[in-house]
């Protein structure tokens, strides 16, 4: 071959790898997406630390959907376990609750375990999230009731399956144009067990027991997060805005007061107890004065949700019975899950390749959503 011809070959771009039948390639935000041909008109709608989300039209149903591409799912065993857990959780929870996001499809464009590197989750499309809704316009008290009620209704279902979401925050609450909400993103969700990791929830919505290195926390961390969201809906701003870990804890104590001795005795960490005792004693704020102008029933619920001691916070089911939701609460329209999340695999200490193999095998199982979710009855 002539030198000029060799130079042309070396400088030409590498041909992309042929795609599996039924897939197509599209570049989005400097990233290559390879998705099923049924998902058309893709456009980006969000990006986070662990994933990127696009909206698309499902050409088989005509409905808008959300496609979530997991970012670097096999970067480490932690990332791989998170991907495995999210897929398993969504498959189980996609059943009969209108306030939990539905998994419509899950797939990979890769055709072998050796090439396996991409995971896509397809869920129902939500026009916005609660974070944007709070920023766009004031929210009326009736709307606050409806939004918080639905979050708790979804959590009742999730918690009844023995699952903790662990990342309840406004940006993980999808909102439709008619104020129907769905709890999104189960990347940090997991089953309740004896000892839990402290890496949960974006800081502003993180419960004090997690900040205090309370390794035996439970579903009540999600309840605290709902209290933070309720306060944000009432005021239009984040309640516990800490600059760092300690500042966040100090902000909580300045509003909710110093823990009493009953709660102090439950804190496992000597360092955490010593730190609290080194601080001035803070009296709990008068919530009626602190949240001036708010519905007194909302304030009463808020005090219960934001109790420092998780054992004295209500469960999601108990919170739904609060008078603040009197026009919404219907026990026969607040479903619980018909099974417990009991996957023992996620408790194993596996390397990245082992998790990768498990996820690949999971994606080979044909999936169709086994649910029939009807809109919540608010009549």
Q: Hey, which residues are catalytic here? A: 185
Q: Are strands 128-129 and 120-124 parallel, antiparallel or unpaired?
A: unpaired
Asked if residue 29 lies in contact with residue 44, where contact means CB atoms within 8 angstroms, the answer is: yes
Q: How far apart are CA 15 and CA 12, in angstroms?
A: 9
Instruction: Please indicate if the annotation marks 68 as binding a ligand.
Output: yes
Q: How far apart are CA 316 and CA 331, in angstroms?
A: 12
Tokens describing residue 138 = 């004031």
**Is residue 194 packed enough to be buried (19+ CB in 10 Å), middle (13-18) or exposed (0-12)?**
exposed
Q: Which residues are annotated as a binding site for ATP?
A: 68
Q: Which residues are annotated as a binding site?
A: 68
């Amino acid at each position: 071959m002539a030198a000029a011809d060799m130079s042309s070959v070396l400088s030409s771009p590498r041909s992309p790898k042929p795609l599996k039948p039924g897939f197509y390639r599209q570049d989005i935000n400097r990233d290559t997406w390879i998705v099923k041909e049924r998902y058309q008109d893709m456009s980006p709608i969000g990006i986070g630390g662990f994933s990127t989300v696009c909206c698309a039209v499902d050409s088989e149903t005509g409905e808008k959907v959300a496609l979530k591409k997991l970012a670097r799912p096999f970067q480490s065993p932690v990332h791989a376990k998170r991907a495995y857990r999210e897929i398993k959780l969504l498959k189980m929870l996609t059943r009969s609750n209108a306030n939990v996001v539905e998994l419509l499809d899950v797939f990979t464009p890769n055709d072998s375990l050796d090439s396996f590197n991409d995971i896509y989750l397809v869920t129902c499309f939500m026009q916005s999230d609660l974070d944007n809704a709070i920023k766009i316009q004031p929210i009326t008290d009736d709307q606050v009731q409806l939004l918080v009620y639905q979050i708790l209704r979804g959590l009742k279902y999730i918690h009844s399956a023995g699952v903790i979401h662990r990342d309840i925050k406004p940006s993980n609450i999808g909102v439709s144009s008619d104020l129907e909400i769905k709890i999104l993103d189960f990347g940090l969700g997991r089953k309740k067990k004896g000892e839990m990791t402290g890496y949960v929830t974006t800081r502003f919505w993180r419960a004090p027991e997690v900040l205090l290195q309370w390794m035996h926390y439970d579903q009540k961390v999600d309840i605290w997060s709902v209290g933070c969201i309720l306060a944000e809906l009432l005021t239009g701003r984040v309640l516990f805005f800490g600059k760092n870990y300690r500042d966040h804890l100090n902000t909580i104590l300045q509003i909710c007061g110093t823990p009493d001795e009953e709660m102090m005795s439950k804190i496992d960490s000597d360092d955490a107890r010593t730190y609290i005792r080194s601080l001035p004693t803070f009296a709990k704020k008068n919530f009626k004065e602190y949240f001036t102008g708010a519905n007194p029933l909302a304030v009463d619920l808020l005090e219960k949700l934001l109790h420092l001691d998780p054992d004295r916070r209500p469960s999601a089911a108990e919170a739904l019975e609060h008078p603040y939701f009197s026009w919404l609460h219907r026990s026969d329209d607040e479903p619980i899950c018909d099974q417990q999340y009991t996957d023992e695999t996620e408790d194993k200490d596996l390397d990245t390749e082992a998790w990768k193999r498990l996820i690949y095998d999971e994606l080979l199982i044909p999936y169709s959503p086994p649910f029939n979710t009807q809109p919540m009855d608010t009549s």
